[in-house]
């Protein structure tokens, strides 16, 4: 059994027991969060596709940790003008473990 869920503007294919990294979500470490935007559920060879969401379906996941990704460096410059700007960014994320898929 697997499902396709949307969170943080991205879509993820998840099954029970999977560990996924998503955009930062509210929720304490160790607590469960519900992902309600379920786009597709496949169970025993039968596929339910939502229009746009599957009615009554949700994915329950446990928050494993909150952290920041590796730093990316951004460098802007204008040639021949001696204009340079350098800064970094670390995107926050949440690591989830999928507990169950309810369809």
Report pLDDT digits (tens) over 27-72: 999 999 999 999 999 999 899 999 999 999 999 999 999 999 999 9
User: What is the percent of the chain where pLDDT is above 70?
Assistant: 100
Domain positions in the chain? 2-102
Residue 20: is its pLDDT beyond 90?
A: yes
Please give the model's pTM, rounded to 2 decimal places: 0.84
**43: which strand partners?**
46
Torsion sign (Cα): 18, 19, 25, 28? positive
39 membership: H or E segment, kind and range: strand 38-43
- Residues contacting 42, CB < 8 A, separation 6+: 1, 2, 3, 48
């Amino acid at each position: 059994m697997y499902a396709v869920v949307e969170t943080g503007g991205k879509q993820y294919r998840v099954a029970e027991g999977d560990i996924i990294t998503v955009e930062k979500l509210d929720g304490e470490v160790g607590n469960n969060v519900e992902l309600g935007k379920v786009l597709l559920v496949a169970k025993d060879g039968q596929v339910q596709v939502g229009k746009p969401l599957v009615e009554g379906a949700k994915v329950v996941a446990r928050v494993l940790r909150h952290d920041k990704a590796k730093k990316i460096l951004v460098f802007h410059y204008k040639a021949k003008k001696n204009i340079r700007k350098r800064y970094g960014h670390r995107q926050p994320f949440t690591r989830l473990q999928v507990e169950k898929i309810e369809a």
